[in-house]
């Protein structure tokens, strides 16, 4: 190629995010790499191909339409890849046929280019000397591709990723060291990326670079991992370094080098953390699906979360109590937790609190200011929209409190105060145990704020405190008592195409979450409304046997909801009620009633979410679907 790559970088007029082909799509992929100080089988008792397969299975929640790996073997890089889920194509790929000291692997979630063998990762350069796996989206790939194509590079896929090995080939061919080439790559690529790279002339190393998309290093004697997420290698090590935006470098079996594009050489030793998750936490443990396991783990998740409410909550309480205004932001299920938080802060604490969907944060740009607190809720701690809202709020002088489940992830790292839920790793795409753990944390926070501000009767707050402490046990009881019946209810719901979830007060976000669960894993169109709204339009859809699910708490809205129930019954709807125990007359009025412990609506909100999760799960299973891997969805959304 005629032009030096450096001048190319200067020459191209980058229009930020010119190519937004990937924007708006949900996307993640899982990447992993391992470097051992000899054949992998010597250290792990299995060939490197099998080790990579095992790690990828732990990342499959991040993407599952194609899979592939690259191994350095007999002086060259060998790539095997295919469309399909790992266990569907494992024989074809022959994971067990490859041993070696270094390998990288990938499980894909297609954005650029359909799921196919050629679009699967790893991608190679022209000479076969550079193999790359990637999570993220490179927005300016079309320009780069055109430049490289004109220069003679031949592309074999439709992916954005493939520009990376060719760019590296180009730079290395010009005499750049691989590290210098990565530095250049950081200046050239626009978008989100976590990349793991092997180059054939440095066979013991895996190079990496991270911007926006998550990447962690796992360290054990004689081997080092890089991966999108800790569960990939948790069976082998819990000593991790979480990489930050702009970090790049390499790992080998006995060396780690990390540099940051802005800050220079990084003292990674000071960043080593020991995570307290165990491998059992990421295996299915006898359950048919992760989702069911995670639903059943809620007593433990709640117990661990409540037992380890960290000292940071005290800091958060102070910040929220003296805030001019409180905003809460999140996406999806976490947004429903934020709505519950908003309701708690409004009604228990009398605070001016507003929840907004993180992807809409730009609307609040001019509104957020010093004196405000933003509570950012995110299971993964990596959701890009939530992260952008956090950055904007901090830029505007607001204080940010994060509620996250993944330790040291970007959102808590970039916040002023981090509160962690202790739900353990959540593998199923649909959030369950992390949602109820978020609710428990927000409830605890709100009761403390109410106590500080004196906005609620101390006796009532003590009652709430006792109910919160009982939640783990009550959650176990709710599952035990209702699971079998809910399975039967699912048989009835499986053939439905629509459903309404109605509630009032704090029952509205609980209903919204119930509807989202049914939608996302059972593919039934479900909408939630404040019950009072149902007669302002939605009821027009109700006809015989149309399912309407009511969230009825033992609160001031009970009687109004029963009025709404009658409206639905007179249209011959099929009515399901989550109702408080001790009111047999209420239970009898529903076609199908699930009696829940009689609690204050605030604590009931946590508990009622569980039967809704079970309804969605068993309906999905009754329809023959895979609830762990719903179509078009991915666990962590790192693209705006």
Enzyme catalytic residues: 29, 635
Task: Give the dihedral sign, CA 355/361/362/365.
Answer: positive
Q: Which residues pair with 281 in a beta bridge?
A: none
Least gap, CB of 379 to ligand F6R (angstroms): 3
The residue range among 127-135, 193-201, 213-221, 373-381 that interacts with ligand F6R, by the rule CB under 6 A, is 373-381
HEC string of 418-445 equals EEECCCCCCCCCCCCHHHHHHHHHHHHH
386 near ligand F6R (CB under 6 A): yes
380 near ligand F6R (CB under 6 A): yes
Nearer Cβ to ligand F6R, position 383 or 436? Answer: 383
3-state secondary structure of 358: helix
77 near ligand F6R (CB under 6 A): no
Q: How many CA atoms lie within 13 A of 559 on its CB side?
A: 1
Residue from 431, 440, 486, 596 in contact with ligand F6R (CB under 6 A): 431
Q: Say if CB 347 and CB 460 are below 8 A apart.
A: no
Residues near 606 by beta carbon (within 8 Å), at least 6 away in sequence:
302, 436, 439, 440, 443, 471, 475
Residues near 376 by beta carbon (within 8 Å), at least 6 away in sequence:
328, 329, 330, 358, 386, 389, 390, 393, 400, 401, 402, 403, 411, 415
423 near ligand F6R (CB under 6 A): no
Nearer Cβ to ligand F6R, position 429 or 573? Answer: 429
- Binding positions for ligand F6R, 163-222, rule CB under 6 A: none
- Binding positions for ligand F6R, 8-37, rule CB under 6 A: none
Least gap, CB of 26 to ligand F6R (angstroms): 8
The residue range among 60-68, 326-334, 487-495, 592-600 that interacts with ligand F6R, by the rule CB under 6 A, is 326-334
Least gap, CB of 4 to ligand F6R (angstroms): 42
Interface characters, 505-534, with ligand F6R (x: CB under 6 A):
---------------x--------------
The one-character DSSP state at 287 is -
Least gap, CB of 431 to ligand F6R (angstroms): 3
End-to-end Cα distance, the chain: 35
Least gap, CB of 188 to ligand F6R (angstroms): 29
- Residue 404: left if φ>0, alpha if ψ -120 to 50, beta else—which one? beta
135 near ligand F6R (CB under 6 A): no
Rounded alpha-carbon distances, angstroms, from residue 212 to 36, 152, 179, 529: 27, 31, 19, 35
379 near ligand F6R (CB under 6 A): yes
Least gap, CB of 131 to ligand F6R (angstroms): 30
Least gap, CB of 540 to ligand F6R (angstroms): 28
Residue the block writes with tokens 């290093």: 217
The residue range among 146-154, 329-337, 395-403, 589-597 that interacts with ligand F6R, by the rule CB under 6 A, is 329-337
421 near ligand F6R (CB under 6 A): no
Strand ordering across the sheet containing 373-378: 353-357, 326-330, 373-378, 399-404, 417-420
Q: What is the dihedral of CA 471, 473, 479, 481, to 10 degrees?
A: -120
Nearer Cβ to ligand F6R, position 384 or 443? Answer: 384
Nearer Cβ to ligand F6R, position 357 or 469? Answer: 357
- Residue 271, token pair as written in the block: 């960043």
334 near ligand F6R (CB under 6 A): yes
The residue range among 147-155, 233-241, 327-335, 451-459 that interacts with ligand F6R, by the rule CB under 6 A, is 327-335
Nearer Cβ to ligand F6R, position 153 or 210? Answer: 210
d(CA 243, CA 271): 9
- Binding positions for ligand F6R, 572-601, rule CB under 6 A: none
- Closest by CA position to 372, among listed 400, 346, 347: 400
Residue the block writes with tokens 């739900």: 423
What DSSP letter does each residue of 310-338 carry, written as one string?
A: -THHHHHHHHHHT-S-EEEEE-HHHHHHH
d(CA 224, CA 268): 13
The residue range among 14-22, 28-36, 241-249, 331-339 that interacts with ligand F6R, by the rule CB under 6 A, is 331-339
Least gap, CB of 458 to ligand F6R (angstroms): 33
Residue from 136, 191, 214, 332 in contact with ligand F6R (CB under 6 A): 332
- Residue 609, token pair as written in the block: 């979410």
Residue from 333, 415, 421, 609 in contact with ligand F6R (CB under 6 A): 333
Q: Say if CB 375 and CB 398 are below 8 A apart.
A: no
331 near ligand F6R (CB under 6 A): yes
Nearer Cβ to ligand F6R, position 162 or 245? Answer: 245
Nearer Cβ to ligand F6R, position 331 or 568? Answer: 331
d(CA 116, CA 633): 18
637 near ligand F6R (CB under 6 A): yes
Nearer Cβ to ligand F6R, position 59 or 148? Answer: 59
Least gap, CB of 306 to ligand F6R (angstroms): 19
378 near ligand F6R (CB under 6 A): yes
Q: b vs e for 530-555, b when ≥16 Cβ sit within 10 Å of the residue's Cβ? A: bbeebeeeebeebeeebbbbbbbbbb
Q: Total binding residues for ligand F6R by CB under 6 A?
A: 14
The residue range among 17-25, 105-113, 325-333, 447-455 that interacts with ligand F6R, by the rule CB under 6 A, is 325-333
Q: How many CA atoms lie within 13 A of 177 on its CB side?
A: 6
Q: Say if CB 256 and CB 205 are below 8 A apart.
A: no
**Footprint of ligand F6R on this chain (CB under 6 A)?**
331-334, 378-380, 383, 386, 430-431, 520, 636-637
């Amino acid at each position: 190629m005629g032009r030096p790559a450096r001048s190319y970088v200067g020459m191209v007029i980058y229009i930020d995010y010119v190519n937004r082909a990937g924007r708006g799509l949900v996307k993640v992929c899982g990447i992993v790499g391992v470097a051992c100080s000899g054949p992998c089988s010597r250290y792990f008792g299995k060939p490197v191909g099998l080790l990579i397969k095992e790690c990828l299975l732990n990342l499959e929640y991040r993407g599952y339409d194609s899979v592939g790996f690259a191994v350095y073997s007999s002086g060259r890089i060998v790539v095997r890849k295919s469309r399909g889920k790992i266990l569907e194509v494992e024989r074809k790929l022959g994971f067990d046929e490859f041993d070696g000291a270094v390998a990288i692997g990938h499980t894909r979630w297609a954005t650029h280019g359909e799921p196919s063998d050629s679009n699967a990762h790893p991608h190679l350069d022209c000479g076969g000397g550079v193999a790359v796996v990637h999570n993220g989206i490179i927005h300016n790939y079309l320009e780069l591709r055109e430049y490289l194509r004109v220069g003679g590079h031949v592309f074999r896929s439709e992916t954005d990723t493939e520009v990376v090995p060719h760019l590296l080939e180009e730079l290395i061919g010009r005499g750049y060291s691989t590290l210098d080439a990565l530095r250049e790559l950081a200046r050239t690529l626009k978008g989100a990326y976590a990349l793991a790279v092997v180059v054939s002339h440095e066979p013991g190393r895996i190079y990496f670079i991270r911007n926006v998309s998550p990447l962690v290093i796992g360290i054990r004697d004689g081997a080092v991992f890089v991966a999108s997420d800790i569960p990939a290698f948790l069976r082998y090590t819990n000593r991790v370094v979480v990489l930050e935006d702009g970090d790049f470098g390499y790992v080998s079996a006995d060396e780690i080098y990390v540099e940051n594009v802005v800050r220079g050489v990084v003292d990674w030793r000071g960043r080593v953390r020991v995570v307290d998750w165990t491998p059992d936490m990421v295996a299915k443990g006898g359950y048919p699906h992760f989702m069911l396991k995670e639903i059943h783990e809620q007593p433990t998740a709640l117990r661990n979360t409540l037992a380890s409410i960290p000292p940071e909550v005290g800091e958060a309480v102070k910040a929220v109590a003296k805030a001019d205004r409180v905003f809460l932001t999140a996406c999806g299920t976490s947004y429903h937790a934020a709505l519950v938080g908003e309701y708690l802060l409004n009604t228990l604490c009398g605070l001016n609190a507003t929840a907004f969907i993180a992807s809409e944060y730009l609307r609040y740009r001019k509104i957020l200011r010093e004196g405000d607190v933003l509570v950012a809720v995110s299971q993964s701690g990596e959701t890009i929209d939530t992260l952008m809202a956090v950055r904007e709020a901090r830029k505007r002088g607001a204080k940010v409190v994060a509620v996250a489940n993944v330790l040291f992830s970007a959102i808590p790292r970039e916040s002023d105060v981090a509160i962690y839920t202790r739900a353990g790793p959540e593998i199923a795409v649909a959030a369950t145990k992390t949602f109820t753990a978020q609710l428990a944390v927000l409830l605890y926070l709100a009761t403390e704020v109410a106590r500080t501000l004196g906005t609620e009767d101390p006796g009532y707050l003590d009652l709430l405190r006792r109910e919160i402490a009982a939640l783990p046990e009550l959650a176990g009881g709710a599952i035990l008592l209702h699971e079998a019946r809910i399975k039967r209810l699912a048989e009835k719901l499986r053939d439905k195409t629509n459903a309404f979830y109605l509630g009032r007060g704090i029952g509205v976000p609980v209903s919204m979450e119930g509807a989202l669960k049914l939608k996302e894993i059972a593919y039934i169109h479900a909408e939630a409304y404040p019950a009072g709204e149902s007669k302002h339009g939605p009821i027009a859809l109700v006809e015989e046997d149309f399912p309407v699910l009511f969230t009825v708490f033992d609160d001031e809205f009970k009687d109004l909801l029963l009025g709404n129930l009658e409206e639905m019954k007179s249209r011959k709807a099929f009515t399901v009620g989550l109702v408080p125990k001790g009111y047999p007359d209420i239970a009898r009025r529903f076609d199908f009633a699930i009696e829940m412990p009689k609690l204050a609506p605030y604590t009931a909100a946590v508990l009622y979410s569980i039967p809704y999760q079970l309804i969605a799960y068993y309906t999905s299973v009754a329809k023959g679907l895979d609830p762990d891997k719903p179509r078009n969805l991915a666990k962590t959304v790192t693209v705006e």
